[in-house]
Amino acid sequence: MKRLSIILLLLFAASFLSVAQKSKNQKKQERYQKALKLVEAKQFEFIGRKANPQGTRQIDLTTRINFMRIDGDKAIADMPYFGRAYSGGYSPTDGGINFDAPYEQYSVDKNEKKGRVTITFKVKSNSDTYNCTLIISGIDNVTLTVSSNRRQTISYYGYIKPINEK
């Protein structure tokens, strides 16, 4: 009788863990599908929670206005920048990553198995060329990496949302 009780208890625990794992995978898949829908519509906005400049600690962005928006065939950004400039002409008053221009070389790589979407594109502003990579693992787990000709690479961690959503 004692052996039967232990076996039943183990079966119950195993079934509970199976349901919990399935629920976790289901939620991850739902977040991936929401993100994929925004990416395919080319109508989304990245909001950074943290900046991670090379060679220093993370910086909290929750109290600063920042965004990178894909709106049709155009990319718009107003992100703070923390890092080193490589060439002259870098203005301390224009310290952010700012652009509002059509993007080039836009590509989307979907990985259904890992639940990840990778977007790469290039944007030319008046003063610089930015290579941007978004790695999206659901709407609430996004990394934006920006490299340019004149500045050190910087990464931002945040989330994406529809453009008009507050």
Sign of the dihedral defined by the CA atoms of residues 63, 54, 143, 107, in that order: positive
- The total number of structural domains that make up the chain: 1
pLDDT tens digit sequence for 40-58: 999 999 999 999 988 888 8
Mean pLDDT of the chain: 84
Share of the chain above pLDDT 70, in %: 81
Q: What pLDDT, on a 0 to 100 scale, did the predictor assign at position 130?
A: 93
Residues with Cβ within 8 Å of residue 148, at least 6 apart in sequence? 97, 128, 129, 130, 131
Q: Judge whether 61 and 50 are in contact, CB under 8 Å.
A: yes
Note the residue count of the chain.
166
What are the DSSP E strand ranges found in the chain?
A: 43-53, 59-60, 67-71, 74-79, 97-111, 116-124, 129-136, 142-148, 154-162
Q: Is pLDDT above 90 for 33?
A: no
Q: What pLDDT, on a 0 to 100 scale, did the predictor assign at position 88?
A: 59
CATH number at residue 92: 2.40.128.410
Q: Is pLDDT above 70 for 15?
A: no
Q: Judge whether 68 and 76 are in contact, CB under 8 Å.
A: yes
CA distance 90 to 66: 20
Name which residue leads in pLDDT, 10 or 162.
Answer: 162
Q: What is the largest CA-CA distance in the chain?
A: 82
Domain that holds residue 64: 2-162
Q: Is pLDDT above 90 for 131?
A: yes
Q: What pLDDT, on a 0 to 100 scale, did the predictor assign at position 134?
A: 95
Binned at pLDDT 50, 70 and 90, residue 92 comes out as low
CA distance 132 to 107: 11
CA distance 101 to 50: 24
Name 134's bridge partners: 119, 144
